[in-house]
Amino acid sequence: MIQRLRGSITMTLRREIADFLGRKRIAVVGVSTEAPSFSRGLFKEFAARGYDVIPVNPKAEGIEGRRCFASVRDIDPRPEAVLIMTPAARTDAVVHDCAASGVDSVWMYRAGGPGSVSVSAVEFCRERGMHVIPGECPFMFFPNAGIHAVHGWFHKLFSPALRQ
């Protein structure tokens, strides 16, 4: 599935990632309400790196001391980009919200398994000219990210989509 998605990339994946990480107001959809979770750790890492991160989870009023929103459509002013950390079955609805809100850059988180990647959501984004990263973990692309950076270095070395 991922190979099929990568075959139609218009901008190289590394440039898409650099563009996404260059944006400073990022919504994280699906950030967990549980403190010791991977999504919370990634959320906190974005915040520690100076990003204006916005939690999106309809089951929470606040996360990490920040107001939480039920959907991307509820955020005002809108985010510059959206990191999707929901199950893939929810990703289509999220990218529709992004498009309706004028967000043109989305990252569908993936570490192992399908993550948030949905083929139909990727196609929806591309049909609308949105920037989309179908997979990968942001931790691997942060400078000085410890073991994640080492993992990212090996991944970039052996992933054809990231060598472009």
Helix spans in the chain (H): 2-6, 13-21, 38-48, 88-101, 119-127, 147-158
Burial (CB count <10 Å: 0-12, 13-18, 19+), residue 105: buried
pLDDT at position 145: 53
Tokens 């070395």 belong to residue: 157
The residues with which 26 forms a beta bridge, in sequence order, are 53, 81
What's the confidence (pLDDT) of residue 155? 45
Instruction: Kindly indicate the confidence band of residue 27, based on its pLDDT and cuts at 50, 70 and 90.
Output: very high
Nearest partner of 130 among 122, 138, 120, judged by Cα: 122
How far CA 38 is from CA of 88, 137, 148, in Å, comes to 17, 11, 13
Express each pLDDT in 47-91 by its tens digit.
999 999 999 999 999 999 999 999 999 999 999 999 999 999 999
Give residue 159's pLDDT: 52
Question: Higher pLDDT residue, 136 or 10?
Answer: 136
Least confident of 6-10, 65-69, 97-101, 144-148: 6-10
Q: What is d(CA 75, CA 106) in angstroms, rounded to the nearest whole number?
A: 15
Would you state the pLDDT for residue 146? 52
Tokens representing residue 102 in the block: 């004028």
Q: Which residues face 107 on adjacent strands?
A: 83, 133
C-alpha distances in angstroms, 86 versus 48, 89, 116, 120? Answer: 22, 8, 6, 15
List, for residues 106-164, the tens digit of each pLDDT value. 999 987 778 999 999 999 999 999 999 998 889 888 877 554 444 444 444 445 454 44
Residue 163's pLDDT is: 44
Q: Which of these, 99, 94, 77, lies nearest to 24 by C-alpha position?
A: 77
* pLDDT given for residue 68 in this prediction: 98
Domains (ranges, CATH) in the chain? 2-162 (3.40.50.720)
* pLDDT, position 7: 43
Q: How far apart are the first and last CA of the chain?
A: 20
